[in-house]
Every structure is written in structure tokens, then in C-alpha cells.
């Protein structure tokens, strides 16, 4: 059977999400904990790769296991995993060929920005002590949904066969002392969300930010985008799958 773990983590505690030898990554920790509990080597496959410092409220990892699942697997996994990460749910795939990466219908990210210095937010959001024009940001966010080719927002030397992405949502929220950018798409390119945020912040200085952003998108030149915003403000909020593809496996708390 093929199973899926929904996992949340504090990205500042890991060297990214993907396995990199013996480095302390999210996937390495999950593989290690599963292998200990199931008493044989277990390899997981992730839905989305996040860079060092980037957080997740709901990344997804699938793995195979042919025996009965322990009714306290999630509880036992959380007891073994580092305190900076937690398994939220265990789900079972109806199709044994299910793939967490390729069967995902969309991924949603949130980028958090705060403007008043706060030592308790420095690893959780981007400190941006400059004027923010939400009207301009909301206008540029709307423009992003009109395009498909995002080559300008992909880091160089990325191994990708296409720069096309379908954007389902792109908008800014006002949270009082914070502003958040939310974007949801069928796929994202390497560094894309941070580039979208950084470039929109940069466009606020333009008299006509919408036209300026359009010019960057159509130029298909990554040197025109701004990739400089830090990863600590970025959250992989959810990985979504088509209805009926997965069902939650009931688990006992203890």
C-alpha cells in the first residue's frame, strides 16, 4: 500500500526539505524515524521541495508499506521526530501508483512581512521597515494571474523542462501589523515565490507598477526579477490533491 504523511516544520532548523546525504533535512528526519519504527529502511518521496529556512504548514511525503499500519504510527513518529517538525495526518492512496509530487493538483504558499521590529518574528517573517502601498501590491498580484510563462522568476541553472505555471490565486492580505502574499498554482519554479514577492515590493517604487511588472514577465529574463527576500517569511501552506484520491487513516493519540 502507498501512504502519505502530511508534515509541518520550522524550516530554520533544517538544511532544506530534500535529502542531501547525511545533512539534517526534513526528509532525512522522516526517513530515519519511519525506518526505526517499521524496522526496515523506508524511503519517502516529497510533493514539494523547500529551501533552507522555508517553513511548511502542510508538505506531503508518500511511502510504501505492505503490512498493517500501527494505530499509533503518527503518535510514535512525532515522539521520534525533532521538536521543530510534526506529522499532522496519515492518509492512504487508493491508487498504488500515487505520487505525492506528480498527482498534486496545486500548492499554496504564503509569504509574511512585518513592519515593526519584533524579535519574536525575525525567523518567522520578513522585516520590511519601509512604506507599503497595498493598492499597488494588489494590482500587481492580479496581473500575475494573467500569465503562464514565468521564466523571469526562475533561478538560473534550474533543471526544468518548462517555465509554464497555471496560477489559481494571487493576492495580498492586510493583517494589521503584517501583510501576507498568497499564491496558489499547479507548480512552482525554483525560487519563484520569493522572486514574485521581492519583485512586487520593488515595483511599489514605480509610478506604473503594473506595466513595469508586465515588462519583467514578458522579458523572460531572470536578471530583472528580485530574488533577495529571505526564506524565513515563506510558508508552504498546503499541497492539494484531487478529491477521492486519498483517505485519512484513523490514528490513536496514545
Q: Are residues 114 and 33 in the same domain?
A: no
Q: Are residues 200 and 99 in the same domain?
A: no
According to DSSP, the residues that pair with 242 across neighbouring strands are: none
Q: Tell me the C-alpha distance between 5 and 80, whole Å.
A: 15
Q: Are residues 115 and 85 in the same domain?
A: no
Q: Tell me the C-alpha distance between 231 and 123, whole Å.
A: 9
Specify the pLDDT at position 218: 97
Specify the pLDDT at position 21: 82
**Is residue 24 in a domain?**
yes
| 154 close to 192: Cβ distance less than 8 angstroms | yes
According to DSSP, the residues that pair with 5 across neighbouring strands are: 61, 90
Per-residue buried b or exposed e for 190-214, using 16+ beta carbons within 10 Å of the residue's own CB: bbbbbbbbbbbbbbbeeeebeebbb
Per-residue confidence in pLDDT tens, the chain, 254 aa: 999 999 999 999 999 898 888 889 999 999 999 999 999 999 999 999 999 999 999 999 999 999 888 899 999 999 999 999 999 999 999 999 999 999 999 999 999 999 999 999 999 999 999 999 999 999 999 999 999 999 999 987 766 789 999 999 999 999 999 999 999 999 999 999 999 999 999 999 999 999 999 999 999 999 999 999 999 999 999 999 999 999 999 998 87
Q: Are residues 165 and 124 in the same domain?
A: yes
- Would you say the pTM of this structure is higher than 0.85? yes
| 114 close to 127: Cβ distance less than 8 angstroms | yes
Structural domain for 66, as ranges: 2-103
Q: Are residues 36 and 124 in the same domain?
A: no
Residues recognised as catalytic: 51
Q: Are residues 137 and 202 in the same domain?
A: yes
Q: Tell me the C-alpha distance between 141 and 177, whole Å.
A: 20
**Is residue 169 in a domain?**
yes
The CATH number for 15's domain is 3.30.70.580
Q: Are residues 117 and 228 in the same domain?
A: yes
Q: Tell me the C-alpha distance between 146 and 41, whole Å.
A: 45
Q: What's the distance, CA 191 to chain centroid? A: 11
**Is residue 191 in a domain?**
yes
Domain count within the chain: 2
Looking from the CA of 114 toward its CB, the CA atoms found within 13 Å total 14
Q: Tell me the C-alpha distance between 124 and 54, whole Å.
A: 9
Q: Are residues 70 and 118 in the same domain?
A: no
Amino acid at each position: 500500500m502507498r501512504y502519505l504523511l502530511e508534515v509541518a516544520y520550522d524550516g530554520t532548523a533544517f538544511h532544506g526539505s530534500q535529502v542531501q546525504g547525511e545533512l539534517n533535512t526534513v526528509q532525512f528526519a522522516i526517513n530515519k524515524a519511519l525506518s526505526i519504527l517499521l524496522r526496515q529502511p523506508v524511503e519517502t518521496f516529497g510533493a514539494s521541495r523547500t529551501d533552507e529556512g522555508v517553513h511548511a504548514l502542510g508538505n506531503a511525503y508518500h511511502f510504501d508499506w505492505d503490512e498493517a499500519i500501527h494505530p499509533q504510527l503518527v503518535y510514535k513518529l512525532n515522539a521520534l521526530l525533532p521538536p521543530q517538525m510534526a506529522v499532522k495526518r496519515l492518509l492512504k492512496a487508493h491508487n498504488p501508483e500515487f505520487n505525492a509530487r506528480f498527482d498534486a493538483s496545486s500548492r499554496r504558499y504564503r509569504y509574511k512581512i512585518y513592519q515593526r521590529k519584533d524579535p519574536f518574528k525575525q525567523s518567522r517573517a520578513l522585516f520590511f521597515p519601509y512604506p507599503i502601498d497595498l493598492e499597488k501590491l494588489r494590482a500587481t498580484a492580479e496581473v500575475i494571474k494573467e500569465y503562464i510563462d514565468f521564466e523571469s522568476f526562475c533561478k538560473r541553472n534550474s533543471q526544468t523542462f518548462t517555465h509554464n505555471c497555471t496560477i489559481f490565486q494571487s493576492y495580498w492580505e492586510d493583517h494589521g501589523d503584517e501583510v501576507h502574499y498568497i499564491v496558489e498554482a499547479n507548480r512552482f519554479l525554483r525560487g519563484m515565490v520569493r522572486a514574485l514577492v521581492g519583485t512586487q515590493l520593488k515595483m511599489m517604487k514605480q509610478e506604473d507598477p503594473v506595466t513595469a511588472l508586465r515588462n519583467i514577465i514578458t522579458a523572460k529574463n531572470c536578471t530583472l526579477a528580485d530574488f533577495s527576500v529571505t526564506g524565513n517569511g515563506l510558508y508552504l501552506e498546503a499541497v492539494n490533491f484531487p478529491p477521492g484520491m486519498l483517505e485519512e487513516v484513523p490514528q490513536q493519540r496514545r
